[in-house]
Amino acid sequence: MDDSHTLVLDMQKRFLSDWNQRISANNENPDNDFAPMWGAAAELGLTMAIAPDKHGGLGDDGDFHFSYFHQRGALLACANFGAALAGAWAILSATNQNDSADTLGSGAMRPALPTFPEEIGTFPKKRTLTGQETETGIRLWGQFDIVRAAPLATHIFAPVRMEDNGDSCIVLLDTDDAAISIVPFTLVDKATAGKITITDLMLKPTHILARGPLAEAIWVAAQTAMIAATAAEATGVMQSLLDQTVAYVRQRQQFGASIGSFQSVQHRLAEMLVEIELTHSLALAASRDLSDTLLASAAKARANDALQKMADCAVQFHGGIGTTEELALSRYFRRAMALRGELGTTEQHFRLIENAICSEVQPASPVTRSAA
Amino acid sequence: MTDLALETFRNEVRAFLDQALTTDLRQEADRQTGTFAEPALAQRWHRILYRQGWAAPSWPTEFGGPGWTAQQKLVFERECALANAPLLPAMGISMCGPVLIGHGTAEQKARFLPSILSGEDRWCQGYSEPGAGSDLASIKTRAIRDGDEYVIDGTKIWTTFAHASNWMFLLARTDTEARPQAGITFLLVPMDTPGISVSPILSMSGEHEVNQVFLDNVRIPVANRVGEENQGWTVAKYLLEFERGGVAATGRTLRVVGLLRRMAQENGGLPPSLLRRYAALDVDIRATEYTQQRMLAAIDSGQSVGNANASILKLKASQLYQTASQLFLDAVGEWGLVDQAAALYEGGQVVGPDYCVTAAARFMNSKAMSIFGGTSEVQKTILARGALGL
Ligand SMILES: Cc1cc2nc3c(=O)[nH]c(=O)nc-3n(C[C@H](O)[C@H](O)[C@H](O)COP(=O)(O)OP(=O)(O)OC[C@H]3O[C@@H](n4cnc5c(N)ncnc54)[C@H](O)[C@@H]3O)c2cc1C
């Protein structure tokens, strides 16, 4: 990273801190002001900053990619201010959609991108929209149950399976389209999400971003960028949880001493420090090599588990007050819950790693393992 | 009791639950996410148990207990859990009751036990204070003797259901000179006494269970003191053993496991990785149940299980419940990412299938279990000191 990266990160830090203050002062949901917030971030160049270099951003630098999302986790101004941006850039860049890329960079596009925990690491087999070739473009229908930020988005990047030939496609949808209906609800981190239903949408050919194996590869690459971003964000959430807890145990007194002076408290927090350092390293490595899907999986699997351990520990050492919604801690705990479940659970990422190991260690011809 | 007699008893309990737990009681119980069933539901179920004579499984028969053996009590609680009966608040039947039976005067027993048994009086527990949690002996709430009255000033916090109770038992300092433990008195306070105000504290998942209670110049008769003045610590500790070890350690856990099983049945099973976690949980539940049986077999009914044993059970109960709640959340999958507050508290629609509605809130609330009733760190310290002599 050089000065330009540091400058952006300093700016983002100030930006997120300001929003945080505003949110906590009015006890309001950041999503109430999502569009202005997104616009203000774009004005500071924050939506552009994470773009690949060829689109004028700094996002090719892995350390920057990591720090950018780590910061968003640590400062947690807005949960919907997350990984979808990384996914959108990956798709627009790989498909050379320069106009749309400009729109994204300028802040006029707020992207949503459905992800399916149980179909991680591949182009989805089941949960796509269905498309049908027509003379003027393609006719689309289908639904996505849970899409983060969908009601706040201007555009949706969606996977499509063509009905006649089974081809995979990635399409870009405009949420203003009358054929799209979005029912909003709230996620555990209090962020807005929606169920998207699409009935007979007529899509112009220009909105089909990629087709066939290329579409599949781009979708996986976009997911990998999002998984790495989420692992970085999780590391930031963990770091903040640790910092909040260390500050609390320093100050809270019981038995005539600060609870941070008790060895059992110290040891468990020290273990958390180790967890965070290891997760940090993996997540950073994943950000540095976004082509390595297994590395991203390893980072996310580890981040999931470490995040839950840290969140549990933070609540535990805050005692009663930790179980309430009085402190910022509760927002971080909820965010941790959401991050753990998104873009692949531990089990799902382990399965990808298991598959990779199997293909390395198993003989070419299939042998049935005996029950013993 | 022979195995056969115990099985007969189990069948009797099952038959009762089958008929007493009506569909709407079950449905409401399924929606519970807190530490105990919410007051209105708890009240309904309490009345039903009372009419059956089963409201206070641990009480001696002379005060209205059913006269069950320790094994029968466990069977009863296990069956209630498996049927997902509402989980009754512990403060009356399982805390204040045993304390009065063990330490109350004849008048106090006659005055208070019948209405605890019937559920007419609802109790809350005023132990913790903002500055005194794990270090309970450092409480600052004062009670000063004034003729036939005590005048109480101070504040209690985390008081479960203070807003739905008409009585509170509390610990107050009556001697500021003595060792912290030596200057505490156990008092019974009507919640409608002038000078008491209750303000709600919302849990992370949005429930109103706990409160802060302010006591300002609250006057109660000296007759409401349990045990001698300055001897409240002994009473308080006796009660904590009941809180930690008195009830089935697996009760909450079995309720979640029940939800998990029903969800799996509806969904065509569980994936292998979750099955393995369920199997591990199942082994741990059995080990805990047998441990509790072994402990209870050694003592007479109505007594507490002892300090160290109570701590083992409290520790395991929290771990099991938290493990089960996490497993359930993970099994629910992406629906566990949805905040169901609107469906749970405002009569809104469930987002996703019905079975997912409590998963996230329950998971959040399960974190409280290693904190209330003495934190897990405190339980481990008790074990290290009391059982290992360290
Ligand atoms: C949902 C809920 C319901 C409750 N209901 C009631 C109720 O009805 N009535 C009532 O009186 N109270 C109630 N409580 C309060 C509960 O008993 C206290 O929260 C608990 O005793 C811990 O006290 P604290 O919150 O002050 O935490 P603290 O005592 O400040 O503890 C903070 C952290 O420090 C750790 N710690 C403290 N001392 C040590 C040590 N020596 N060694 C190692 N670690 C240590 C603790 O384990 C904990 O992790 C409730 C609490 C909750 C969360």
Q: What is the pLDDT of residues B331-380, one digit of tens each?
A: 999 999 999 999 998 889 999 999 999 999 999 999 999 999 999 999 99
B216 touches chain A (CB under 8 A): no
Q: Which of B99, B134, B213, B390 to mutate to test the pocket of ligand 1 (most atoms within 8 A of CB)?
A: B134
Cβ of A255 less than 6 Å from ligand 1: yes
User: Which mutation among A244, A249, A265 tests ligand 1's pocket best, with the greatest number of atoms within 8 A of CB?
Assistant: A265
Tens-place pLDDT, residues A246-272: 999 999 999 999 999 999 999 999 999
- Chain B interface mutation, best of A308, A323, A327, A331, highest count of B Cβ atoms under 10 Å: A323
- Based on the fold, state whether residues B56 and B170 are members of the same structural domain: no
Q: Select from B339, B365, B372 the residue whose CB has the most chain A CBs within 10 Å, as the one to mutate to test that interface.
A: B339
Q: Do A325 and B206 touch (CB under 8 A)?
A: yes
Q: Closest Cα of chain B to A186: distance in Å? A: 5
Q: Are residues B10 and B135 in the same domain?
A: no
Query: Do the chains contact at A341 and B336, CB–CB below 8 Å?
Result: yes
Task: Name the closest-CA residue to atom 23, ligand 1.
Answer: B133
Residue B315 pLDDT > 80, yes or no? yes
* Interface ipTM > 0.90: yes
Virtual CA dihedral for B317, B319, B325, B326, nearest 10 degrees?
Answer: -170
- Of A30-44, A207-221, A351-365, B149-163, the least confident: A351-365
Closest atom of ligand 1 to CA, residue A264: 43
Measured in angstroms, the CA of A105 and the nearest CA of chain B are apart by 29
Contact B339 A254 (CB under 8 A): no
Domain containing residue B345: 237-386
Q: Does B386 touch chain A (CB under 8 A)?
A: no
pLDDT value at residue A119:
85
Q: What are phi and psi of A247, to 5 degrees?
A: -60, -40
The mean per-residue pLDDT over the stretch A90-95 comes to 97
Does the beta-carbon distance from A326 to B375 stay under 8 Å?
no
- Count structural domains, chain B: 3
Q: Please determine, for residue A372, whether its predicted confidence score (pLDDT) is greater than 50.
A: no
Regarding the beta carbon of B72 and ligand 1, being less than 6 Å apart is answered no
Residues with Cβ within 8 Å of A107's Cβ and at least 6 positions away in sequence, in order, are A38, A39, A41, A42, A43, A47
Q: Does any ligand 1 atom lie closer than 6 A to the CB of residue B36?
A: no
Q: Are A179 and A202 in contact (CB under 8 A)?
A: yes
CA A230 – CA A75 distance, rounded (Å): 14
Among B159, B199, B204, B270, most A C-beta atoms within 10 A, so best to mutate, is B204
What is the rounded CA–CA span in Å between residue A250 and residue A252? 6
CA B230 to CA A168: how far, in whole Å? 77
Give the minimum alpha-carbon distance from A194 to chain B in angstroms, rounded to a whole number. Answer: 10
Closest chain A residue by Cα to residue B371: A319
Of the residues B231, B253, B279, which one is the last residue of a structural domain? B231
Same domain, B221 and B258: no
Distance B133 CA to ligand 1 centre (A): 5
With CA atoms as reference, report the closest residue to B322 among B270, B371, B388.
B371
Q: Which residues of A touch B364 (CB under 8 A)?
A: 323, 333-334, 337
Rounded CA gap, A291 and A217, in Å?
A: 11
Does the C-beta of B133 come closer than 6 Å to ligand 1?
yes
Last residue of a domain, one of B231, B259, B278: B231
The residue whose CB lies within 8 Å of the most ligand 1 atoms, and thus the one to mutate among B315, B375, B379, B382, is B375
Assign 3-state DSSP to chain B and report helix, strand, coil percentages, each to 5: 55, 15, 30
> Which chain B residue lies closest to A319 (C-alpha atoms)?
B371
Count of positions (residues) in chain A: 372
For residue B297, what pLDDT band results from cuts at 50, 70 and 90?
confident
Write the CA distances from B82 to A307, B29, B259, integer angstroms: 32, 12, 9
What's the CATH fold of domain A216-361? Answer: Butyryl-CoA Dehydrogenase, subunit A; domain 3 (1.20.140)
Tell me: do B203 and B253 sit in the same domain.
Answer: no
The DSSP bridge pattern shows strands A129-133 and A155-162 to be parallel
Residues linked to residue B126 through DSSP beta bridges, in sequence order: B170
A56 burial (CB, 10 Å; 0-12 / 13-18 / 19+) is middle
Mean pLDDT, chain B, integer: 93
Question: How many CB pairs (< 8 A) connect A and B?
Answer: 111
- Which token pair is A38? 């997104």
Give the C-alpha separation, A338 to A318, whole Å.
21
**Mean pLDDT, rounded, for B219-238:** 95
**Judgement on whether residues B216 and B245 belong to the same structural domain of the protein:** no
- pLDDT of B303 > 90? The answer is no
pLDDT band of residue B33 (cuts 50, 70, 90) is: very high
Q: Cβ of B382 under 8 Å from any chain A Cβ?
A: no
In B246-306, where does DSSP find H-type helix?
Answer: 251-267, 272-297
Residue B339, CA distances (Å) to A192, A193, B48, B132 in order: 10, 10, 33, 33
B135 contacts on A by Cβ (under 8 Å): 254-256
Supply the residue whose CA is at minimum distance from atom 17 of ligand 1: B372
CA pair distance B196, B18, nearest whole angstrom: 42
Query: Is B206 exposed, middle or buried, given 0-12, 13-18 or 19+ CB atoms closer than 10 A?
Result: middle
Q: For residue B300, what pLDDT band results from cuts at 50, 70 and 90?
A: low
Q: Do residues B145 and B183 both lie within one domain?
A: yes
Instruction: State pLDDT tens for residues B94-108.
Output: 999 999 999 999 999
Question: Looking at the partner chain, which of B334, B351, B363 has a beta carbon nearest the beta carbon of A185?
Answer: B351
Residues B127 and B222 both lie in one domain: yes
Say yes or no: B35 and B109 in one domain: yes
Ligand 1 mean position to A52 CA, how many Å?
49
Q: Do B112 and B252 lie in a common domain? A: no
Which ligand 1 atom sits closest to the C-alpha of B375? 47
**What is the Å distance from ligand 1's center to B374 Cα?**
6
* B299 and A CB contact within 8 Å: no
More confident residue, A64 or A366: A64
Tokens 């949408």 — which residue? A201
Residues B226 and B318 in one domain: no
Min Cα–Cα distance to chain A from B322, Å: 10
B111-118's contacts with Cβ under 8 Å and 24+ in sequence apart are B112/B188, B113/B59, B113/B63, B113/B64, B114/B64, B116/B56, B116/B92, B117/B50, B117/B55, B117/B56, B117/B59, B117/B63, B117/B64, B117/B93, B118/B47, B118/B50, B118/B55
Give the Cα separation of A258 and B219 in Å (integer): 35
Tokens, residue A249: 């145990």
Report the distance separating Cα B292 and Cα A138, nearest Å.
Answer: 65
**Closest approach of B32 to chain A, Cα-based (Å):** 17
Q: Cα distance from B345 to chain A (closest Cα, Å)?
A: 14
Q: How far is the CA of A312 from the centre of ligand 1 (A)?
A: 15
Specify the pLDDT at position B295. 83
E strand or H helix at B202: strand B196-202
> Would you kindly state where each structural domain of chain A is located, as residue ranges?
3-110, 117-213, 216-361
- Closest Cα to atom 43 of ligand 1: B377
Q: Is residue A370 scored above 80 in pLDDT?
A: no
Is the domain of B71 the same as that of B43? yes
Question: What CATH number should be reported for the domain holding residue B16?
Answer: 1.10.540.10
Two tokens, residue A39: 């616009």
Instruction: Please check the confidence at residue B304 and state whether its pLDDT lies above 80.
Output: no
Q: Quick one: what percent of chain B has pLDDT higher than 70?
A: 97
**Mean pLDDT computed over every residue of chain A:** 94
Chain A positions touching chain B (beta carbons under 8 Å) = 116-118, 145-146, 185-188, 190, 193, 195, 253-256, 259, 262, 264-265, 308, 312, 315-316, 319-320, 322-326, 330, 333-334, 337-338, 341-342, 345, 347, 350-351
B370 contacts in A (CB within 8 Å)?
316
| Calpha distance B350→B344 (Å, rounded) | 8
- In the DSSP assignment, the letter for residue B55 is S
Query: Does residue B203 sit at the A interface (CB-CB below 8 Å)?
Result: yes
Mean pLDDT on A48-69: 96
A chain contacts of residue B365, beta-carbon cutoff 8 Å: 323
Are B227 and B243 within one domain? no
pLDDT mean over B204-222: 97
Residue B302 in this model has a pLDDT that exceeds 60: no
Q: Which CATH superfamily is domain A117-213 in?
A: Butyryl-CoA Dehydrogenase, subunit A, domain 2 (2.40.110.10)
Lowest mean pLDDT, pick from A289-298, B68-77, B92-101: B68-77
Chain B: nearest CA to A151, how far in angstroms?
Answer: 15
Which residue has the CA at smallest separation from atom 39 of ligand 1?
A: A259
Asked whether A259 lines ligand 1 (CB < 6 A), one says yes
- Per-residue pLDDT at B301 exceeds 70: no
CB contact under 8 A, B158 and A255: no
Of A63-77, A113-127, B42-56, the least confident: A113-127
Last residue of a domain, one of B85, B118, B151: B118
Q: What is the DSSP letter of A117?
A: G
Contact residues for A273 (Cβ-Cβ < 8 A; gap 6+): A242
